[in-house]
Amino acid sequence: MNKGDLIEKVANECGLSKTASDQVLTSILNAITGAVSAGDKVTLIGFGTFSVSARPAREGRNPQTGETIQIPAKKIVKFKAGSKLSDAVK
């Protein structure tokens, strides 16, 4: 399922136009993105939690040359599935 499919499903289930559904979905995604980029944790009970984690700098290898390279530290986004989502997948 891609974003267009999701918009169509929301429009059908909620009785909204595709334009309104697109605006709602975009607003939700922007709110989640803004909160996570600010370092906040976003918890959607039953669905899951988005959070930011720090990945430390480490040594790696260039697969073409075998040369040791330094991989810089960076922040990554993590998602932990909630209980309802996990149960639905089983």
Domain edges within the chain: 1-40, 46-90
Superfamily of domain 46-90: IHF-like DNA-binding proteins (4.10.520.10)
pLDDT at 90 over 90: no
Integer Cα distance of 15 and 17 in angstroms: 7
pLDDT-derived band of residue 82, with 50, 70 and 90 as boundaries?
Answer: very high
In this predicted structure, what is the pLDDT of residue 50?
97
32 CB neighbour count, 10 Å cutoff: 15
Which pTM value belongs to this model? 0.80
Q: Tell me the mean pLDDT in the region 5-33.
A: 95
Tens-digit pLDDT profile for residues 48-65: 999 999 999 999 999 999
Q: What is the mean pLDDT of residues 78-90?
A: 93
